[in-house]
Chains A and B, each alone.
Chain A
Amino acid sequence: MLRLGIKSLLAHKVRFALTASTIVIGVAFVVASFVTADSLRSGFDQLAEDINTGTDYTVRGELPFGEITEATAPAVPAELVDDIAAVDGVEIAKGGLFVDGVIPVDGNGEAVTTFGPPVAGTNWLEDESLSQFYLMEGRWPVGGGEFAIDITTFEDDGYDFELGGTYQIVTPTGPREFTLTGAAQFGFPENAGVGAIFSLFDTATAQEVLGFPGEFTVISVRAEAGADIAELQTRIEAVLPDGVEVITAADSEEEFSDATETFIGPFQTILLVFAFIVLFVSMFIISNTFNIVLGQRVRELSLLRAVGATPQQVRRSVLTESAIIGIVASVAGLGLGMLGALGIKSLFNALGASLPEGSLPLTLRTVLWAVAVGVGFTVLASLVPAIKASRISPVAGLSEGTTSEERASLGWKRLVSGGVLLVVGLVLTGLGLFGDFDGATPQLSTLGAGAAITFVAVSVLSPLVARSVVSLLARPLQWIMPISGRLARANAARNPRRTSATAVALTIGLALVTMVSIVGQSLKVSFGDRLASAVNADFIVSVNTQAGLPKTLSSDIRAAGIGTPVGFDFDLVQIDSSGADVQATVVQSTLTAASVSDLDAVVDIGVTEGTLDGFDPQTGLLIHSNVAGDEGLALGDEVDLTFVSGDRRTVTVTAIFDGSAFWSNWIIDSALYEQVATTAFDDIVLVRSDIDDPEAARAAIDEVMTGYPQAVLEDRQEFQESVESSLNTVLVLVNVFLGFALLIALIGIVSTLTLSVFERIREIGLLRAVGMTRRQMRRMIRWEAAAVSLYGAVVGVVLGGAFGMATVAAIPDDIIDTVSIPAAQLVLFLVISVAFGLIAALFPAFRASRMNVLDAIADE
């Protein structure tokens, strides 16, 4: 039976290759996601180890709550360095500063920024081994007028930096001029800098320009040789004041690795989700291919049965065949996946993330997953066809002709089983969208399972309507092309089950694309509406880097007499409202700090209770009506806020608002926040201009902004466009991945059509004999494919539309409050699908048109 399986495969190489290719792509996705993630992990682990070499402990301010990745810990006093150095067993202790948002400007006046990683200022440590930096070029900077830059930026051809040159650096204390003396490498020389950009100063200069006089953000400590690490940690702890912690090098490595995992993990998960989508779609293609091929092999299989093969042996031969396909596809997928991982890494690096050097680790786990997924999905897909094949009677071949025009069982059984699946799928989908879950994983799993079952249900139900719907959709064909069109339409509708199975791959791909585009469009429209109705500002100043804009920008704009600028700073806060309500718990949330007295000038937050008049900057709090309800808060209630600096303040609810806006549910005044903040940055600055002429206003702000080259000035229209364009980038990325599902669908159409053409060889011969030209033949087959594609696409768009609207409904109103259907885009999807079908049919149509007429009609 094994030999039979292999023989059968070798006899049908093209079919085998097409079937396998769909699985190859799926497996490649799985492999690429594992390998890329593993490579990133090992690279970052190596980096963490390198930068901690020579450092045994790190002393730093303790966050009262939250993770070090979410917030900036408070600084520690400089005197602590001496206290620690004096601890018995400590060889050396050095204070360091690490402040994000320190932006160098190159020789061309261009600000050096990133799309995410820090652009930081730091001090170099006199101790080589304690330092995380290694001097590569020039010398270390000394005194207030010098700086060094990280080697990656120094060597980047996109920037113009030369040793000895004088450059502006925008620091939290304002823009200043420095002379470049050297270039240093973060971590070991062979490590890249993970995309971060560093400006290095000597310690005194760093403290002054970074805004931490007499303070450090971190103290690095090395123990004397032979010291007991745990015991010494306790003794260091003893000299530390409250709110300062000491962690070992091992702890900080783990912390670093946890921090990197916060983006590697989701990245891997997202790739695996796409891998699953691709494999899921492939299953339909494989199942369909096996069904058709086994249908064509009825004679052979019944002969096997007649000469004594048991049903089990027939079944096993089919499953063996699919297992071999699975194994071959897994191996090919491993190779393709490695290439994919290489591609993803170069893509990241091209985008500016200089990822750590590292091989592409192919672990045993990855290989096992690849094989399990490849073989598993293929065998699973061939299970139903295998069972059907085993039921072929020994005399079936005697009565039946060469072709088996499958008649779909279009009865009650299909309707009931499909209906039940549909209900289960929709209920799970609804539950996933609207239900309460502990965390994203169970929610997304429920949603995914619901969607998958819905798609299976659609594929079960589809044959019931395929004939009539395809006939309807393809009707225009016979008006345009009388005979080819009529035949194309009839062929597309003649075998509802095959049409459905072919179309379902496209249905799934297009449903997902449609859903994404509806959610995206609704998000854009909701955002635009909110911008139009709630924002009064004329200009928006934002920044690409995470650190934000120096607070001085606001005051400079105000000083220039342009109008009213309001800076918004978002930070983590812990809120204890138990004073007001015993039921209430301590919650952690995002807090907005802004100048409340100027708020009206730039935004309309929609105050529903209380008033902003007479707001006390030191004790006032504005809350959104949502949290007022959730936390049981009313006007006049007192709330305890704990900031990441460890400071606590009691504030009073003075107004409740319900405007759905870009800020958080909790707003305090920036005057209060300045006293407790660990950083001095605004995340965004809105400006209400007093200058009537927009061009003049812009010019005036531009003038102020020359000191802040990292800032981006946009009017409302431009701001909306740039938000939309970054959203579009995400949508395009998602669609590129979903494009792989569509590619699988394309392969499916090619494969099914090739088999159908082979099956209809006599009909094709007849048509050619009675005078159908090759061109008419190709046209007939192309448009058959187009009709099948259009059917799949229409079902997909309808299904995706429903999913999309449900998703929009499930997303809270303060994010999306308007459903918007991108009709033109959906029509475009349908047109593209038709084009898809036409392209998929090129090869089968060519084959059919080249078929020898005599061979075709002589085929017995």
Chain B
Amino acid sequence: MSVAAPPTHAAARAVAATKIYGSGDTAVRALDAIDVTFEQGQFTAIMGPSGSGKSTLMHCMAGLDRVTEGQVLIGETDLSTLSERDLTLLRRDNVGFVFQAFNLVPTLTAIENIMLPMDLAGTAGDSDWVDEVVGATGLADRLKHRPSELSGGQQQRVAVARALAGKPQVIFADEPTGNVDLNTGAEILGFMRNAVDEMGQTIVMVTHDAVSASYADRVVFLVDGQIVDELADPTPERIRAHMNQLGA
């Protein structure tokens, strides 16, 4: 293997990651030899038009799916070497998730949902850290409620707290504000921003919304399975400008 020693500050990275669906004439290259590194303590947004491969990239980086060629590493672990079971354990212990919707198990209370990955691992977790995360959600008085008794925004905050509670190497968020109104979205993004700034967490977020992406430290633009551009310290205007450029 010709992989150089991984830089210690990378939370997750892809090396020539390629994902091909189907075979022969109908083969589609969803990811085309992507190289990307997500630094520790950074909030990265992945943007791109529909079908650009941004969700596929996220799934592959997060160990939900496997790349066809190339490598994906979480910390120093090469996901392609892991068995299905080890991949599951890696997700449980080292990766956090926030989905667009249906983030919470309806039969569990808010706090049970937050503790879910640790309960699955059979560990108690870092209780000071969990207290801090729970405190940051501002939901201390709603912890015993079930998801159906929480608003959409509250549910997403619980989901972010769940992702944070296990102190994962990296958190992946897939359109976390896609199902909520603007104000609630801002609240959730603020919470995520706070988790990076105050708690030193690493977040990778897929979004198609320029305002959401502007909360990130860095925006990566994806088109046809390739990274075509990057933007540091983005603002909504600069992002839109880039998007228009790419679309043209």
Contact = CB atoms under 8 A, between A and B. Distances in A.
Interface residues of B, number: 27
14 contacts: A405-B106, A483-B119, A487-B107, A491-B107, A494-B106, A494-B107, A763-B105, A763-B106, A766-B102, A770-B116, A770-B120, A771-B120, A773-B120, A857-B64
A482 B64 contact: no
Contacts of A762: 102
B102 A770 contact: no
B218 interface: no
Contacts of A772: 88, 92, 120
Contacts of B85: 773-774
A769 interface: yes
A767 interface: yes
B162 interface: yes
Given A487-B108, A769-B97, A769-B99, 7 more contacts: A763-B105, A770-B162, A772-B120, A773-B88, A773-B120, A774-B85, A854-B65
Given A483-B116, A853-B64, A771 B121 contact: yes
Interface in A758-783: 762-763, 766-774, 776
Contact of A767 (B89, B99, B105): B105
A490 interface: yes
B176 interface: no
B93 A771 contact: yes
Interface in A652-667: none
Interface in B154-174: 162
A497 interface: no
Interface string B113-124: 000110111100
Interface in B63-90: 64-65, 84-85, 88-89
A487 B109 CA distance: 11
B35 interface: no
B107 A482 contact: no
B99 A857 contact: yes
A344 to B, nearest CB: 47
Contacts of A853: 64
Nearest to A775: B85
B52 interface: no
Contacts of B97: 769-770
Nearest to A483: B119
Contacts of B103: 766
Nearest to B92: A771
Closest 5 CB pairs of A and B: A771-B92, A490-B107, A483-B119, A771-B91, A762-B102
B112 A486 contact: yes
Contacts of B104: 766
A491 B97 CA distance: 23
B59 A774 contact: no
Interface in A376-422: 405
B148 to A, nearest CB: 9
Contacts of B92: 770-773
> By CB atoms of chain A within 10 A, which of B65, B89, B102, B112 has the most?
B102
A112 B99 CA distance: 79
Interface in A459-485: 482-483
Contacts of B65: 854
Contact of A768 (B59, B88, B121): B88
A784 B79 CA distance: 33
Contacts of A766: 99, 102-105
Contacts of B89: 771, 773
B59 A854 contact: yes
Interface residues of A, number: 23
Contacts of B107: 487, 490-491, 494
Contacts of B106: 405, 494, 763
Contacts of B91: 769-771
B119 A774 contact: no
Nearest to B88: A773
Contacts of B119: 482-483, 486
> By CB atoms of chain A within 10 A, which of B85, B106, B121, B162 has the most?
B106
A774 B84 contact: yes
A771 B104 CA distance: 13
Given A487-B108, A776-B120, A771 B88 contact: yes
B57 to A, nearest CB: 13
B111 to A, nearest CB: 12
A406 to B, nearest CB: 14
Contacts of B112: 486
Nearest to A857: B99
Contact of B120 (A483, A490, A857): A483
A773 B121 CA distance: 9
Contacts of A486: 108, 112, 119
Contacts of B162: 770
Interface in B96-145: 97, 99, 102-108, 112, 116-117, 119-122
A774 B105 contact: no
B59 to A, nearest CB: 6
Nearest to A773: B88
A122 to B, nearest CB: 75
A296 B91 CA distance: 31
A816 to B, nearest CB: 47
Nearest to B162: A770
Contacts of B120: 483, 770-773, 776
Nearest to A768: B88
Contacts of A768: 88
Nearest to B55: A858
B117 A771 contact: yes
Nearest to A776: B120
Nearest to B163: A770
> By CB atoms of chain A within 10 A, which of B85, B99, B112 has the most?
B99
A851 to B, nearest CB: 12
Contacts of A491: 107
A482 B88 contact: no
Contact of A770 (B59, B84, B117): B117
Interface in A300-347: none
Contacts of A774: 84-85, 88
Nearest to B91: A771
A635 to B, nearest CB: 75
Nearest to A770: B117
Nearest to B112: A486
Contacts of B59: 854
Contact of A482 (B99, B105, B122): B122
Contacts of B105: 487, 763, 766-767
Contacts of B108: 486-487, 490
Nearest to A767: B105
B135 to A, nearest CB: 22
Contacts of A769: 64, 91, 97, 99
A771 B64 CA distance: 10
Contacts of A857: 64, 99, 102
A773 B92 CA distance: 9
Contacts of A773: 85, 88-89, 92, 120
Nearest to B100: A857
A405 B63 CA distance: 31
Nearest to B119: A483
A534 B116 CA distance: 67
Contacts of B122: 482-483
